[in-house]
Amino acid sequence: MAKTNELFSEKDIISYKIAHIIKRDGRIVSFDKDKITDSIFCAAVEVGGADKELADSLANKVVSMINQIYPQDATPSVEEIQDLTERILVQNGHFSTAKAYILYRDEHRRIREGKDEKITVQDNIPYKTIWKLFTWNVDNSCDTAKKLNQQIKENTIKNLIKNAENVYDKEIEKVAKKISNNKSKIRLIIVAGPSSSGKTTTTIKIGEALEKEKISFITLNLDNYFRNLAEHPKDAYGDYDFETPEALDLPLINQHLYDLLEGKSIKMPHYDFKTGKRSIDKKEFKLEPNQILLIDSLHGLYDELTKSIPNSMKFKFYIEAICQIRDNEGEFVRWSDLRMLRRMVRDSWHRGYNPTQTVGHWHYVRRSEMKYIVPFINKADYIFNGALPYEFPIYKNILIKQFPEIIKFFENDPKRLDAYIRAKRVYKLLSEFEDLDNTLIPKNSLLREFIGGSTYKY
């Protein structure tokens, strides 16, 4: 964007005449000037711009025009605000940015229309599953941040924790029964799901349930098959994209799986997440003829991961943090935001990553999910919810003080705009919740996989 003469001075911005806007679905939400700034900056970055202060100045001009056009306490629509934003960009000579902004609006319109056509599915999760979980949250007064906060204030949160943990355990039992009913065919159980969905704890708990069903099994941790971190290319910030299936030694995995099901012994490697290095031939492993092999993997549904094993021998279990909580503006919380918070906490104590690194790395996570995980969810034999309704108050207690610094770190770097917007969104979300002491969380809870203090060893 090129700087031009200003139509309005900064002195014109004394106060906002509007406090709320109307969204496309009819909801009335708080007016937030920063969203105008972010949208202008996003469009500018698309055409090579990098001036965040200029984007904010242009957003101020939009507010000045709003103050001129609308009376006090008016409630314009989001489309009207966007029309004014386009007008300011054009009037100030930012034609390329205006064009990118128009294209951005059109793309989001088409996305919304697509969602209307496919309202039964979100990230390939069946609508029936989502609706069932939402109904449970409504029935248990935890479908909104406001209701959850009320439970914390009234100290009824203990009952919610107990009920939610019981639902999770009962689902584990259902899975074990389903496997038991087909144990004559199944040789390989795959627990798949995106990053920080709760695969590890769920795999352990499935193992416990299988033991109750008198089913013999052994667990193989595919995380040990990561290639050395140094083998992956670095980006401009020294970060690695180790979220793709190719980050794993797929040929070795397939060879070992095949050998195990043939009754042969293997020597399994060991991967150290803190050093980013793999040691080979660390542990001898063998599967007995009457045993089932149980694995968990980010890319468990990806065909190339287990192509050496016939599909008839596999049971594919998919877990996602299907969070059904709405924020104070009525928006459903993004599942990926919940999982990012989980990973921020876990990686800080378990893998040597600080939370800022996790936020900056998350675009790799989400990109890989959309390419290698979401398209294959329809191949799962069972879809499972790994979200617990009381997680956000826990993460607020742990992380909220770090977010201002995280936001500041990414604020003025146009190449890290995604991380900046993500950090601001999640910071605002956490700010809506009351604090919750993690001593209320059971020691065997899935949540302990991320916050620590579990009875299980990870």
pLDDT in tens, 217-237: 999 989 899 999 888 767 777
Does the pLDDT of residue 12 top 70, yes or no? no
Closest CA to 281 of 291, 301, 267: 267
The pLDDT > 70 percentage for the chain reads 91
Please give the Cα distance from 179 to 301 (Å, whole number).
17
Q: Are residues 296 and 390 in the same domain?
A: yes
Nearest to residue 249, comparing CAs of 276, 278, 207?
A: 278
Range from 7-11, 288-292, 387-391 carrying the lowest mean pLDDT: 7-11
- Say if residue 10's pLDDT is above 50: no
pLDDT value of position 408: 95
In terms of domains, do 262 and 143 share one?
yes
Split at pLDDT 50, 70, 90, the class of 9 is very low
Tokens of 358: 């996790």
The full DSSP string for 263-297 is T-EEEEEEEETTTTEEEEEEEEEE--TT-EEEEEE
Tell me what pLDDT residue 36 has.
Answer: 92
- Domain stop point among 117, 144, 175: 117
Same domain, 355 and 421: yes
Work out whether strand 188-192 and strand 292-297 pair parallel, antiparallel, or are unpaired: parallel
Cβ atoms of residues 318 and 380 within 8 Å: yes
pLDDT confidence of 3, banded at 50, 70, 90? Answer: very low
56 and 166 in a single domain? The answer is no
Q: Range with the lowest mean pLDDT among 24-33, 175-184, 239-248, 371-380?
A: 24-33
Q: Is residue 32 part of a domain?
A: yes
344 within some domain: yes
> What is the CATH classification number for the domain harbouring 182?
3.40.50.300
**Tokens for 87?**
């007008």
**167 plus 219 within the same structural domain:** yes
**Res. 120: pLDDT tops 60:** no
Chain-centroid distance of CA 425 in Å reads: 13
Query: In the predicted model, what is the mean pLDDT of the chain?
Result: 88
Is 5 among the domain residues?
Answer: no
Same domain, 366 and 441: yes
**pLDDT top residue among 2 and 28:** 28
Beta-carbon-side half-sphere exposure of residue 351 (alpha carbons within 13 Å)? 21
Nearest CA to 200 among 341, 340, 294? 294
pTM, full prediction: 0.79
**What are residue 439's phi and psi, to 5 degrees?**
-70, -15
85 shares a domain with 139 = no
Any domain includes 456: no
pLDDT at 65 over 60: yes
Confidence of residue 110 (pLDDT cuts 50, 70, 90): low
At 123, is the pLDDT very low, low, confident or very high (cuts 50, 70, 90)? low
Q: Is the pLDDT of residue 150 over 90?
A: yes
Residues 96 and 134 in one domain: no
Q: What number is the average pLDDT over the span 159-187?
A: 95
Does residue 264 lie in a domain region? yes
Q: Are residues 87 and 189 in the same domain?
A: no
User: Where does the pLDDT of residue 189 fall: very low under 50, low under 70, confident under 90, or very high at 90 and above?
Assistant: very high
Instruction: Using DSSP bridges, classify how beta strands 314-320 and 188-192 pair: parallel, antiparallel or unpaired.
Output: parallel
The predicted pLDDT at position 190 comes to: 97
Of the candidates 73, 90, 117, which is a domain's last residue?
Answer: 117
Please indicate, yes or no, if residue 362 is contained in any of the structural domains. Answer: yes
Q: Is residue 112 domain-shared with residue 196, that is, in the same domain?
A: no
What is the pLDDT averaged over residues 358-385?
A: 91
- Average pLDDT (187-200) is 95
Is residue 1 in a domain? no
- Cβ 278 vs Cβ 269: under 8 Å: yes
The answer to whether position 3 is within a domain reads: no
Distance, in Å, from the CA atom of 70 to the CA atom of 358, rounded to the nearest integer, reads 42
Residue 434 has pLDDT above 60, yes or no: yes
Per-residue pLDDT tens over the stretch 73-97: 888 888 888 888 988 998 999 988 8
Domain span at residue 87?
A: 10-117
Q: How many domains does the chain have?
A: 2
In the predicted structure, residue 116 carries a pLDDT above the cut 50: no
